[in-house]
Amino acid sequence: MRTWPKVKQLSFYFPEYRVIRATQLAISVMPALAVMAASGQLYLYGWEFLPQALTLALFFISLPVQGLLWLGWRARHPLPLSLLDWGNQLSAKLSSMGVSCPPLGAKACYFDMAVLLKTAFERLDANYWEQL
């Protein structure tokens, strides 16, 4: 989650930007929402609904964990050939500028693409990204 560049232009091509934003929001909001939902249920229905209140609280707490698990799964997912080709072109562009950036190998994954994109957004000017 920290490696992927937080740039809105990438949201049109990759779902990671939206998932990261939603997960960050869920990490900050869901614990409070879980406490409010569980305590509200206990207040309205009494202590005999404690198992249901705990289940509801655990559901709210699990939402950011699901986002983190999806991001971890996606980071190890292999790149499709079209992205692999585009990543190698971007790597060649960075290498021609003097930035040490090895090309993506045949077994490249989305984590490798995230590292490459983060380097590219730090080094390339905004004109390059407007052409996409």
Question: Mind listing the pLDDT tens digit for each residue in 110-125?
Answer: 999 999 988 888 877 6
Give per-residue pLDDT as tens, 31-72: 999 999 999 999 999 999 999 999 999 999 999 999 999 999
Contact 10, 120 (CB under 8 A): no
The burial of 117, by beta-carbon neighbours within 10 Å (0-12 exposed, 13-18 middle, 19 or more buried), is given as buried
